[in-house]
């Protein structure tokens, strides 16, 4: 599956703000949440709806309903939690699992430190959240863990993706659709996305 890139002028405008190193923590966090909401709408474009009947102030009519109980959001700690509020605005009843991973600065390999899922995760469609798809190690490892838990339908949402990360995720998990606000140029020699936005976790939480 090819990565789906949200090619939208308003999103490009918002991305310029988060890429700018002068943008402060508050605005950075708010815009990451806003873009995440847009990504969620895009990721739900193939959702299966139920037919229901409702009554408007004017008349009875047929309508559509989404069963939010079929979904779970899984942010990758830390930076993925910066996208969570944006998704919960769109689907407040989805359940939430957490995966704790950090990237070893030398090897760039993900190191696991936390994994907690809703009990019925295997029966849900899972939407994995992480602002940055760089080497793809963190996303690939998270999705492997979810599949080991029996999850069959997984989507991956990020704000920026490097071609290297997209290629790796597509190779190792070809069934997982990637949604990104932008496909960037490449990775630099320390594994950061170029032009990128810097360290997403540090900018969301103000830790540097």
| Catalytic residue list | 103, 107, 199, 202
Q: Which of 84, 134, 169, 178 binds ligand URA (CB under 6 A)?
A: 134
Q: Which residue is nearest to ligand PRP (CB)?
A: 201
| H helical segments located in the chain | 9-19, 25-43, 81-90, 137-148, 163-172, 200-205
Q: How many chain residues touch ligand PRP (CB under 6 A)? A: 23
196 lines the binding site for ligand URA (CB under 6 A): yes
**Spatial distance between the Cα atoms of 113 and 102, rounded to a whole number of angstroms:** 8
139 lines the binding site for ligand URA (CB under 6 A): no
- Cβ contacts of residue 196 below 8 Å, gap of 6+? 19, 132, 160, 184
Site string for ligand PRP, 123-142 (x = CB under 6 A): -------xxxxxxxxxx---
Q: Which of 8, 17, 96, 191 binds ligand PRP (CB under 6 A)?
A: 191
Q: Which of 3, 35, 128, 200 binds ligand URA (CB under 6 A)?
A: 200
Q: Identify what 127 binds: ligand URA, ligand PRP, none; CB under 5 to 8 Å per kind.
A: none
How far, CA to CA in Å, does 111 sit from each of 6, 40, 94, 153, 172? 30, 27, 27, 24, 18
Q: Residue 90 corresponds to which tokens in the numbers above?
A: 């769109």
- The residue (of 18 and 117) whose beta carbon lies closer to ligand URA is 18
**Spatial distance between the Cα atoms of 162 and 165, rounded to a whole number of angstroms:** 5
How far, CA to CA in Å, does 65 sit from each of 36, 44, 151? 22, 13, 23
Which residues bind to ligand PRP, rule: CB under 6 A? 76-79, 102-103, 108, 110, 130-139, 165, 191, 199-201
């Amino acid at each position: 599956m090819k990565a789906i890139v949200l090619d939208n002028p308003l999103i490009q405008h918002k991305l310029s703000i988060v890429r700018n190193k002068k943008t402060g923590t508050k605005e950075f966090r708010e815009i990451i949440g806003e873009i995440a909401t847009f990504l969620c709408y895009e990721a739900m474009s193939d959702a299966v709806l139920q037919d229901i009947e409702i009554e408007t102030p004017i008349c009875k009519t047929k309508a559509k309903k989404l069963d939010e109980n079929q979904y779970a959001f899984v942010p990758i700690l830390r930076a993925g939690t910066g996208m969570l509020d944006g998704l919960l605005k769109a689907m407040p009843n989805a359940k939430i699992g957490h995966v704790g991973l950090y990237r070893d600065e030398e090897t760039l390999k993900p190191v696991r430190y936390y994994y907690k899922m809703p009990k019925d995760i295997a029966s849900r469609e899972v939407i994995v959240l992480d602002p940055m798809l760089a080497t793809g190690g963190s996303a690939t490892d998270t999705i492997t863990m979810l599949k080991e838990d029996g999850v069959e339908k997984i989507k991956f949402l990020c704000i920026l993706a490097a071609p290297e990360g997209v290629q790796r995720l597509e190779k190792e998990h070809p069934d997982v659709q990637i949604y990104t606000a932008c496909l960037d140029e490449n990775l630099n020699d320390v594994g950061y996305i170029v032009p990128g936005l810097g360290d997403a976790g540090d900018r969301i939480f103000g830790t540097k």
